[in-house]
Amino acid sequence: MKIEKKKFTTLSKVTLVGALLFSTIPFAAAAKQAIPDTVAIKKIAGYSTGLSDKDGGVAEIVKYNPENKKFYVINGKSQTIDIVSLQDLTSTDSVQNLQKEKSINIGDAVNTDTFHYGDMTSIALHNDLDIIVAAVQDEDYSKQGKLVVMNYDGEIEKVYDAGVQPDMVTITKDGKYILSADEAEPRQGLEEGVDPEGSVSIVDVSTGEVTYVKFSNQSVIDDDVFIRNNGTKADAVHDFEPEYITVSSDNRKAYVTLQENNAIATIDIKEGKVLAVKSLGYKDHSLPGNELDAARNDKIELERLPILGAYMPDGIASYNVGGVEYLVTANEGDATEWEEFVNIADLGDVKDQLHNLNPNLFQGMTPEEAEAAFDKILQSGDYDKLEVLTDRGNDAIYTLGGRSVSIWRADTMEQVFDSGSDFEKITAERLPDYFNWSNDDDAFEKRSTKKGPEPEDVKVGIVNGEVYAFVGLERIGGVMTYNITNPSEAKFANYINTRDFSDVIAGDVAPEGLEFVSAEASTTGRPLIIVGNEVSGTVAVYEMQAAPIKLIESITLNQTTVDLKVGETFTLSATIQPAETTESKEVVWSSSDDSIATVTPSGEVTAIAAGSTEIAVATVDGKHVATATITVTEREEVANKPEQTPEETAELPEAPEEHSEGQKLPNTATNHYQLLIIGSSLLIISGIAYVVIWKRKSLA
């Protein structure tokens, strides 16, 4: 794929700005899209912190609270958590401006004589516990951080000690554990500084006990896991830098990205131990579908090349299909650059060291083709600025990141899907004038020799029974959406970008943290994707244009009190409001005491014994319940007559019946009976006489 750079004119700038303001597709090419959207997504609201920074760190991690319809976003500049309400958000064609309700200042609250606030890196929220948890680092990079537990208004309830440099925090869905990824970077290098031990902190919410899971057990680390600085497994306890955590659907395991090591660790949460550390391998860019633009030549030029990309994921999410757990990774890539401890260089500075190419590493080319393409890369100056890893060997060109989203089986770390070259193909087609722009300047194709679009974070959500992954692109901006219902056959679904390319920092620039909001939890009745943009300092609220849902508001019964006698039945009927709800109208019936009254799945109540019980009907999710009080009494028994004496049972002569006014009436029933006897006798006699006469005539 090769496209010459188009001339960027003032008119095209104006046209683009108009497209951003009035269209759900920020840059619409005239030709039919080669990879079209299959779902519609549009921006319906935005919040601005009023601050921006080319170096990022403004609006970062964002979490939504379905209970109060507010989102909480880390403002890295003011070191606060901004609270913004979506209570009045509606589905409209215009972009609604959101306003901050209040800010929570964490720094002042956590400073002590022994802890000095350095940075707030992440927040998590749990509705059953009614808490927000913030990960806070000490200003001394070698000291332990804190996990600060607050209520929804920011009032601190508890503070736990985390490991060194907690960089991400999450809470298990069952609310039993709080976990943090403690990155422990050697920020002053290895010679003059300290290399702390990376860890995962696990807080048992019920007891307050904190377990620090480290990587000292060499037996669980696979042999092909890369340890930097020519290290061995014994060095992993210092070298591993936990980046991001996702928790399995059964809340038993945590999967942790070890970005710099191109690996994922599996941790048993309850036992607090590492089960496995597995390498993700390398992406073969010689294969069809894995093309990339690795040259800086003022062109859009996606090629198959003998290059191996280290996936090095940042964000990670998980979901379960048919009992199998899958992991979804945003393959960003990350270099090591701490003082003298550096593992990257421009290809032009190290290509003389690349003299042992192993063509057998590339499955998409013959050895001859790989050799020829390799020579082309080394001889052309177009690839000299390509950022390469210098510690993976000289048998290939190793680059950072996969420029993609991948899906892996959690039990084996086998890759079942990778988006290949989609990100660059789609952005090249839809934003050709801004291809591989960075998030801090307006240089065309600048990121081609770095990590491309640079996928940062990924979130997974369910929409109308389908599973989707949402991936933020940190550099050029925007969100890629994939339908991942079938993990091995994931499909591109949408790309939206609301960056304003008419200026270096305008619109929504540099997605950092994403949050998916289900239709059930959304104030608009449609799914939302909330995106914190760390350079522009903005939060974008995108809405998927699925059919809006109508939630159940109430359930009522036709009777709330029923009186029954033992053995009697009564049918209760339930009414769900609104009638046009899109939720399941299936209900569940139950009795608080089956020994008094039972109820069938259709609402028929049967009285069993005297007493009182409650019959309840509930929606299948248990969110709405109605009850009726059933009172059961014994049946009234007819009094038994006393046994009669023989004299009393003797037959008595019939008394004439009396009229209601005391007059005697004739016994017509007896008279009729006598007449019937007489009539029958006459008929018989007549028959006999007829036979006798007939025989006499015959004889004569």
577-626 tens-digit pLDDT: 999 888 899 999 999 999 999 999 999 999 999 999 999 999 999 999 99
pTM of the model: 0.81
Average pLDDT over residues 664-691: 57
18-21 long-range contacts (CB < 8 A, ≥24 apart) are 20/498, 20/499, 20/500, 20/507
Q: What is the domain range of residue 601?
A: 554-633
* Per-residue pLDDT tens digits for 367-388: 999 999 999 999 999 999 999 9
Q: Is 451 helix (H, G, I), strand (E, B) or coil?
A: coil
pLDDT at 547: 76
Q: How far apart are CA 254 and CA 268, in angstroms?
A: 7
Same domain, 327 and 394: yes
Domain-embedded: residue 119: yes
Beta strand 131-138 pairing with 117-126: antiparallel
- 402 & 429 share domain: yes
Residue 378 lies in a domain: yes
**pLDDT of 34:** 86
| Identity of the amino acid at 438 | S
Q: Which of 563, 570, 630 is nearest to 604 (CA)?
A: 570
Q: Are residues 489 and 616 in the same domain?
A: no
Place of tokens 């799914």: 527
Q: Tell me which of 490, 514, 544 is where a domain ends.
A: 544
Mean pLDDT of 505-525: 97
Whether the predicted pLDDT of 674 surpasses 70:
no
pLDDT greater than 80 at residue 95: yes
Read off the pLDDT of residues 179-199 as tens digits, 9 standing for 90 and up. Answer: 999 999 999 999 999 999 999
The first and second tokens of residue 316, run together, are 């990670």
Strand segments (E) across 155-262 = 156-164, 166-171, 177-182, 199-204, 210-213, 244-247, 253-258
Question: Same structural domain for residues 443 and 567?
Answer: no
Residue where a domain stops, chosen among 499, 525, 544:
544
Burial call 526-556: b when 16+ CB within 10 Å, e when fewer: bbbbbbbbbbbbbbbbbbbebeebeebeebe
Examine the domain organization and report whether 534 and 571 are in the same domain: no
pLDDT of residue 638: 60
What CA–CA distance (Å, rounded) separates 258 from 308? 18
Please give, one letter per residue, the 3-state secondary structure of 329-384: EEECCCCCEECCEECEEEHHHHHHHCCCCCHHHCCCCCHHHHHHHHHHHHHCHHHC
Does residue 589 sit in the same domain as residue 459? no
> Would you say residue 13 has pLDDT above 50?
no
Supply the pLDDT for residue 640. Answer: 58
Please tell me the total count of domains within the chain.
2
> Do 356 and 249 share a structural domain?
yes
Report yes or no on 503 lying in a domain.
yes
pLDDT average, residue stretch 241-270: 99
Residues 508 and 604 both lie in one domain:
no
Beta-bridged to residue 2, according to DSSP, are 301
Which residue, 633, 650, 676, sits at the end of a domain? 633
**Among the ranges given (264-273, 519-528, 636-645, 659-668), the one the predictor scored with the smallest mean pLDDT:** 659-668
